């Protein structure tokens, strides 16, 4: 049945860890949008959810940094962070090693993909899962794109990776959902934490939901760093989702700068055509 | 300056309870396994978040070391700002990147 759902969302650790410090009205509107995303995801009746993430030195470091990596385990754990700090309890999360293997073998024919049989989820995956499968019942297949340690994965390759992932999904009988998760502009965990370039974000999101490949892959790292901070490098996850939904368009369900969460909190979905 | 090893050490104690226990209980022997300068060893010993930031430690690594060293969120941000006031701009790593 292949790909049945595709979307993107933010994952800033403040969304859960500093929830009590946000303006309640805005926070609750974000949470309501996450609920809507969960309902739409559930309505697509997925067998598995692929999370395309931008992890933050939890599993991958500059001693051996993959451009792309996919998990291949029946179980994962998370969060790697202090559960109290993140506001999410530590749990085991089900995976699907057999399906991972099939997808990896297929994607590898187009993209040099690393794989990992061990993976500790950080906030980049746990915050989305906390909202999207709060009982951790849905099997997860994690994917990482190097958005943190330069040299970073080129945007053109991220789009191509999304295409390859889509093709691999189309070959499968399982119903597969996919969520990309990253910031747009933000300066997380730095003295500029809370700074958000709303105009840049809205322009990027416009390119994203209209799936303008050329515009999406035209950003340079220099421009991103200057205009959108190091957190902006995480647009790679959005670009991969655009690649997986090539020729489709999407819809922004939520966008609001929330400085205490250190992101312009975003939720968007792409149609599957 | 060996930013790579400072970050690697923090990466390992962030993700591995055994490494963290060794950092807390056998600081000298644990740090001896990394190629660190005296300034780096002192910054780690004192949990000098401001200096570690100025040395170039990535915030995605540093914020967890700050949290385990009992810095609340605002105190963590203030410590980095104070580090810049005291030691000058970030010296290396991503935040010191000068794009050509
Ligand atoms: Fe992130």
Residue B74: how many CB atoms within 10 A of its CB?
10
How big is the CA angle at A221 (ends A66 and A52), to the nearest 5 degrees? 45
Question: CATH number for the domain including B17?
Answer: 1.10.700.10
> What is the per-residue pLDDT across B6-63, written as a single tens digit (0 to 9) for each?
999 999 999 999 999 999 999 999 999 999 999 999 999 999 999 999 999 999 999 9
Q: Do the Cβ atoms of A189 and B94 come within 8 Å?
A: no
On whether the CB atoms of residues A106 and A159 are closer than 8 A, the answer is no
Interface test with A, best of B6, B17, B64, B84 (most A CBs within 10 A): B64
pLDDT for the residue numbered A134: 98
Strands A91-94 and A75-78: antiparallel
pTM score, whole prediction: 0.97
Torsion angle, CA of A224/A225/A227/A231, rounded to 10 degrees?
80
Buried b (16+ CB within 10 A) or exposed e, A67-99: bbbbbbbeebebbbbeeebbbbeebebebbeeb
**Residue numbers of B between 30 and 69 with CB closer than 8 Å to A:** 53, 58-64, 67-68
For residue A191, the chain B residues in CB contact (below 8 A) are 53, 77, 80-81, 84
Q: What is the DSSP letter of A185?
A: S
pLDDT at B76 over 90: yes
**Chain B, nearest residue to A77 by Cα:** B15
10-residue block means of pLDDT along chain A (273 residues)?
A: 93 97 97 98 98 97 97 98 97 98 98 98 98 98 96 98 98 98 95 97 98 98 96 98 98 97 97 88
> What is the per-residue pLDDT across A21-64, written as a single tens digit (0 to 9) for each?
999 999 999 999 999 999 999 999 999 999 999 999 999 999 99
For residue B80, give its domain range. Answer: 3-87
User: Across the strands, what pairs with A114?
Assistant: A69
The domain tally of chain B equals: 1
Give the span between the Cα atoms of A237 and A204, in whole angstroms.
13
- Which residue from B38, B45, B46, B34 is spatially nearest to B9, judged by alpha carbons? B34
Question: CA distances (Å), A62 to each of A91, A119, A130, A165, B93, in order?
Answer: 27, 16, 28, 25, 12
Give the span between the Cα atoms of A50 and A145, in whole angstroms.
13
Give the span between the Cα atoms of A31 and A203, in whole angstroms.
24
pLDDT at B100 over 60: no
For residue A181, give its domain range. Answer: 3-270
Give first-to-last CA distance, chain A, whole Å. Answer: 13
Confidence of residue B97 (pLDDT cuts 50, 70, 90): confident
The domain tally of chain A equals: 1
Question: CATH number for the domain including A200?
Answer: 3.40.830.10
ipTM confidence score = 0.94
């Amino acid at each position: 049945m292949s790909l049945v759902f595709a979307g993107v969302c933010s994952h800033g650790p403040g969304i859960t860890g500093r929830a009590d410090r946000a303006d309640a009205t805005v926070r609750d509107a974000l949470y309501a949008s996450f609920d809507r995303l969960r309902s739409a995801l559930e309505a697509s009746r997925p067998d598995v959810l692929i999370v395309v993430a931008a992890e933050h030195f939890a599993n991958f470091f500059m001693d051996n940094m993959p451009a792309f990596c996919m998990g291949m385990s029946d179980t994962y754990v998370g969060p790697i962070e202090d559960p109290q700090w993140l506001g999410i309890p530590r749990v085991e999360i089900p995976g699907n090693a057999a399906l991972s293997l099939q997808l990896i073998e297929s994607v590898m024919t187009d993209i040099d993909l690393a794989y990992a049989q061990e993976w500790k989820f950080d906030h980049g995956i746990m915050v989305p899962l906390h909202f999207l499968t709060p009982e951790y019942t849905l099997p997860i297949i994690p994917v990482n794109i190097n958005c943190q340690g330069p040299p970073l994965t080129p945007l053109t390759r991220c789009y191509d990776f999304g295409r390859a992932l889509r093709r691999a999904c189309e070959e499968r009988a399982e119903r597969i959902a996919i969520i990309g998760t990253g910031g747009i502009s933000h300066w997380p965990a730095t003295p500029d934490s809370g700074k958000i370039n709303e105009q840049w974000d809205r322009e990027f999101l416009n390119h994203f939901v209209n799936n303008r490949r050329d515009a999406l892959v035209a950003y340079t790292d220099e421009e991103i760093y200057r205009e959108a901070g190091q957190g902006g490098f995480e647009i790679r996850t959005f670009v991969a989702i655009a690649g997986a939904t090539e020729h489709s368009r999407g819809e922004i369900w939520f966008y609001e700068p929330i400085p205490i969460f250190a992101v312009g909190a975003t939720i968007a979905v792409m149609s599957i055509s | 300056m060996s930013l790579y090893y400072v970050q690697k050490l923090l990466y390992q104690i962030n993700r591995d309870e055994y490494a963290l226990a060794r950092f807390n209980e056998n600081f000298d022997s644990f740090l001896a396994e990394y190629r660190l300068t005296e300034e780096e060893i002192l910054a780690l010993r004192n949990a000098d978040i401001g200096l570690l930031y100025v040395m170039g430690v990535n915030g995605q690594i540093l914020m967890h070391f700050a949290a385990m060293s009992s810095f609340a969120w605002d105190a963590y941000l203030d410590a980095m700002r104070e580090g810049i006031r005291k030691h000058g701009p970030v010296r290396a790593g991503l935040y010191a990147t000068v794009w050509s």
